[in-house]
Amino acid sequence: METVKLNNGLEMPILGYGVYQIDDLELCEECVYNALETGYRLIDTAAVYQNEEAVGKAINRSNVDREDIFLTTKLWVQDAGYEKTTEAFEKSLQRLDTDYIDLYLIHQPFGDVYGSWRAMEELYEEGKIKAIGVSNFYPDRVKDLIIHNKVVPAVNQIETHPFYQRKEAHKFLKEEGVQHESWGPFAEGKNDIFNNEILTAIGKKYDKTAAQVILRWLIQRDVVVIPKTVHQARMEENFNVFDFELSVEDIEKISELDTGETLFFSHRDPEMVERLGTAELDI
C-alpha cells in the first residue's frame, strides 16, 4: 500500500475504506472485516455515523495487528469544546475498543473548535492520538486555526471528486503542509458519474472502470481517498488501482469536469450551519 507522510512524520495509507451511511451494524462489521481482508489498512469512521462499535469489532475479529491499521474517527459538532471533546474522545475509544486513535478530526468547522483543538493537542501530546486534523474546513478556517494554535492540522478531509476538484484548496493545503483527504470521491453517484463519457473512455484505455480512474486520479494528486461500498467485489475493484498510471492528457481531460461547486451543501450556508449546530443526536 502506498502511503503519504503527514507533517508529524506519521505514515498514512493513501487509499482507505470509509463507513459513512453504513447504518446496519452487522453489515458494517462485515464490511470492515472484508476490507481488512482485502488489504485496506486505513479505516475511516466518525462518532456521528453511529457505527464505531461495529468498526472496533471488525478490527478485533481480523487477523491484522492493530498497529498495522490506521484508524480515523471524528468529533461531532455537539461535542465541541474543551471538556466535551475529552469526554467524546474517551467514548469513541470505548466504542472502538482501542487505546489510541491514529487520526482524530474535528468533523465540522462549527462550535467551539478552539476549545476542541486545545483538548486534542493535549491528547496528542499524551500519545492517545497519533495525529490530529480537521474536516470540512475551508482554507480561511484552516489558516486561522494554524495561526492561533501550536499544532498544525495533519489532515483536512473535504468533499473532493471530479466535479468539485478543490484545486485552490489543494494548493493551499500543500503549501501549509496539511494533507488533503477526499470524502465523497464518487460524488455519491451524482451526475451519473460512473457512466461519464470522459471517465469511461479513459478507463477503456487501461481496462479499468470509471471508479478506478477516479481513485487513480486522486492518488496521483497525492490526495488520500476513502471510498465506501458494501459490495466486496467493488471493494476489491477499488483496491486494484496501483497497477496503472494516468497520463498528463488523461488528467487534463478530467480537469475539464470541474464545476468548482459542491454537489451537496455549502458549509458557509447559514441554514446549514444552524441545522448542523442544533441537531439533536444521541452519540
**To 5 degrees, how large is the angle CA 259–CA 163–CA 232?**
175
User: Are the C-beta atoms of 239 and 39 separated by less than 8 Å?
Assistant: yes
161 is in an annotated binding site: no
What type of residue is 117?
Answer: W
Cite the beta strand spans of 160-260 per DSSP E: 179-183, 224-225
Determine the Cα–Cα distance for residues 251 and 216; give it in Å rounded to an integer. Answer: 10
Task: Out of 17, 33, 40, 49, pick the active-site residue.
Answer: 49
User: Are the C-beta atoms of 1 and 39 separated by less than 8 Å?
Assistant: yes
Question: What SS3 class is residue 55?
Answer: helix
* Residue 148 burial class via C-beta count within 10 angstroms: exposed 0-12, middle 13-18, buried 19 and up: exposed
Q: Is 49 a catalytic residue?
A: yes
β-bridge mates for residue 17, sequence order: 43
**To 5 degrees, how large is the angle CA 22–CA 28–CA 30?**
150
Feature table: binding site: 107
Residues with a catalytic annotation lie at: 49
Q: Binding site for substrate, residues?
A: 107
